[in-house]
Structure 1
């Protein structure tokens, strides 16, 4: 399941719900991305995330399907926030469940790399020095590229 929402994300509640009565998995891996207080030495007061509802969710669903096809998963959840996010608040939550830990770890890692570089989300940090758009870095693209087959 994937979801795009403006409401705050509660990672503990999402993880508890994801794990509730789960007897089919040997591993659950979760990741929570938080809004940090500074980026590259520049203070951050808020993070504004723009999305194109409908389209963004469709792309997120495609990324979910690709993750499920690539790894031996029992279940997956990805929740991404949009709108204004305060420092310390959750931006994204991903959890994967698998029979074995390696698939759960790799699937969570893979999905985060895909969300970071392919999901149509536009991020703008706001701080005392003004506004600045945040683009995926070269290292983000390199992280995503490591999943592609080598020629």
Structure 2
């Protein structure tokens, strides 16, 4: 299980490959990569700046991984999140999981990303034609987290076929 917060661009292929790492028990690897886009809520974006609270951020991400591991039978998890100035089309975040079964991998990846968007201490400042502003959490991100409140996928996965 890996958590990294860094300024450097990450190698997506290497991260995906490392989740399988010749583990014969891995039947599925699912990943999500978030990129800086050129528009947000109808406003043009020219760049992004991400800040975090060192130590606290990594602990928060590890807690999210621990929660996912308690819910699904995961074999590997990697979160890499960038900080600092980012340009349009640059990768921001990588979330990858491996599991014996695809459903556990899909659900755990979505769970981790939903919680990362709402619970991890990152602060995002967008730059655009009208200046810069800090981005607030969206109601849609909070709603995404609520869907996990009553789910018990661990028990379901023990009965699910591959």
TM class, shorter-length: over 0.9
Q: Deviations over 1:96-150 (max 9, x none)?
A: 1111100000000000000000000000110111112112210100001110128
The secondary structure found in structure 1 opposite 2:105 is helix
1:21-100 equivalences in 2 (<5 Å) = 21-100=22-101
Describe how 1:108-127 pairs up with structure 2 within 5 A.
Answer: 108-127=109-128
Residue of structure 2 equivalent to 1:147: 148
In structure 1, how many angstroms separate the alpha carbons of the residues matched to 2:76 and 2:141? 25
Counterpart CA distance in 1 for 2:64 and 2:146 is 15
TM-score, structure 2 as length reference: 0.88
Equivalent position SS for 2:30:
strand
Q: Unpaired segments of 5 or more residues in structure 2?
A: 152-162
TM-score, with structure 1 as normaliser: 0.94
Aligned residue number for residue 131 of structure 1: 132
CA contact (8 A) 1:10 1:90 kept: no
1:47 is paired with a residue whose SS is strand
Gaps of 5+ in 1: none
Cα distance between partner residues in 2 of 1:18 and 1:99? 12
| Whole-angstrom distance in 1 between the partners of 2:101 and 2:71 | 14
Indicate the RMSD between aligned Cα atoms, in angstroms.
Answer: 1.3
Taking the aligned partners of 1:75 and 1:10, their CA distance within structure 2 comes to 17
Aligned pair count reads 150
